[in-house]
Structure 1
Amino acid sequence: MSSTNIKASFNPLIRPYLVAYGAAIFAITVIGIPFAIIWLCGVGQWWARHYFDKLECELSENSLRFRKGILFQVEKTIPLENIQDVTFVEGPLLKMFNLSILRFETAGQSAGQAHDMRLVGLIDAHEFRQQILERRERLKHAHGQPTNVDQNTVLLREILQRLDTICERMKSE
């Protein structure tokens, strides 16, 4: 099997989404309204353009690597075997811009890390999510680790054995 990396693409509509989202956050409080006006007058567009230019995401056979940020750049590499789930999120504001979020849950993740483990605006996010999950299962299977289906089968067999034991005891009483 050849090792092919998949490079994700981001929807350019993420830029106006980020501007609108930032303005909404500023405008929530009365004190933030002047900042929202400054944000909408150009700072937000500048920030969103540079943020979009720095976005990168690449899926390899063993890991997912992504980079984002302007002043504080975050580059994260997540081994696929550590990914517990990839959640697809859409909300009203995201739908207005035809965007979605992929949120990653990893083994050993603390609550404070959750916001760093999400990607906004991936093109074909459903397909990219599916690729991540398929590669994760393939990697687990190659390492001899039980897949979710195998784990469920084992659990169901244990439940069946316990039910059989309970039935036997009830018959003998």
Structure 2
Amino acid sequence: MTTDAIAIRARFNPLIKPFLVMKIGLTMMCTVVGIPLAIVWFLGVGRWWAQHYFDRLECQLGERNLRFRKGILVTTEKTIPLENIQDVTFVEGPILKHFNLSTLKFETAGHSVGQASDMHLTGIIDAQAFRAQIMRAREALRHPPQNKENDEQLLVLRSIEAKLGEIAELLRARQ
């Protein structure tokens, strides 16, 4: 865990639960072995799993990074520094629209040449606004606002430069 202060905590739409049950159940039905498993899945195991999965979903936008956590038996946690985020794509297809859901896809640059990683977040409530907040936070890191103290230091340095210029002129005049 980082010491990054939490700026925004994303909320997830509860409709992600039936979406996940349908998505995984239909995937199971695509194979002969999966058909009996799909029956058990649709009879209750899927709803139990989806509820526990939903309870453990977590996404936090901090001042310097984005952290996402999911999983039941195997927990996955990803932390992406905001300065590494290259693009945030908003995806909303017909099935996602039916469940009133959308997906945010994050494309990040890796530290090695040619490496990049992707992260998908499905089910964030008001995903467009969350995407905009992430982009604003990223831009704020890339272009920090000017500090008054820095402006004052710059003014002092310029006045010193001007005085040194005057001294140099006086010395040239004496010679």
Asked if TM exceeds 0.5, the reply is yes
Q: Is the alpha carbon distance of 1:72 and 1:4 closer, same or farther for their aligned partners in structure 2, counting shifts above 3 Å?
A: closer
Partner letter of residue 96 of structure 2?
L
**Which secondary structure state, in structure 1, belongs to the residue aligned with residue 11 of structure 2?**
coil
Counterpart CA distance in 2 for 1:91 and 1:26 is 21
Partner letter of residue 70 of structure 2?
K
Bigger Cα displacement from structure 2, 28-37 vs 9-18: 28-37
| Counterpart in the other structure of 2:69 | 67
Aligned Cα root-mean-square deviation (Å) = 1.9
List alignment gaps of at least 5 residues for structure 1.
Answer: 145-173
Partner letter of residue 14 of structure 2?
P
Equivalent in 103, 125, 139 of residue 123 of structure 1: 125
Deviation at 1:4, TM superposition (A): 6.2
* Aligned 8 A contact 2:68 2:79 in 1: yes
Give the alignment's TM-score, normalised by structure 1.
Answer: 0.75
Counterpart CA distance in 1 for 2:115 and 2:71 is 21
Of Structure 1 and Structure 2, the greater helix share is in 1
Counterpart CA distance in 1 for 2:102 and 2:14 is 13
Task: Write out aligned runs for 1:5-154 (5 A).
Answer: 5-108=7-110, 110=115, 113-114=117-118, 117-142=119-144
List alignment gaps of at least 5 residues for structure 2.
Answer: 147-175
Superposition misfits of 4+ residues, deviation over 4 angstroms: none
Counterpart CA distance in 2 for 1:103 and 1:11 is 17
Give the alignment's TM-score, normalised by structure 2.
Answer: 0.74
Counterpart CA distance in 2 for 1:110 and 1:90 is 27
Counterpart CA distance in 2 for 1:38 and 1:110 is 40
Of Structure 1 and Structure 2, the greater strand share is in 2
Deviation at 1:93, TM superposition (A): 1.6
**Greater Rg over alpha carbons, structure:** 2
* Matched positions, count: 139
* Aligned 8 A contact 2:6 2:60 in 1: no
Counterpart CA distance in 2 for 1:143 and 1:110 is 31
Counterpart CA distance in 1 for 2:85 and 2:137 is 11
Q: Is the alpha carbon distance of 1:84 and 1:64 closer, same or farther for their aligned partners in structure 2, counting shifts above 3 Å?
A: same
CA deviation vs aligned residue, 1:11-30 (integer Å, no higher than 9, x gap)? 00000000000111111123
Counterpart CA distance in 2 for 1:103 and 1:110 is 16
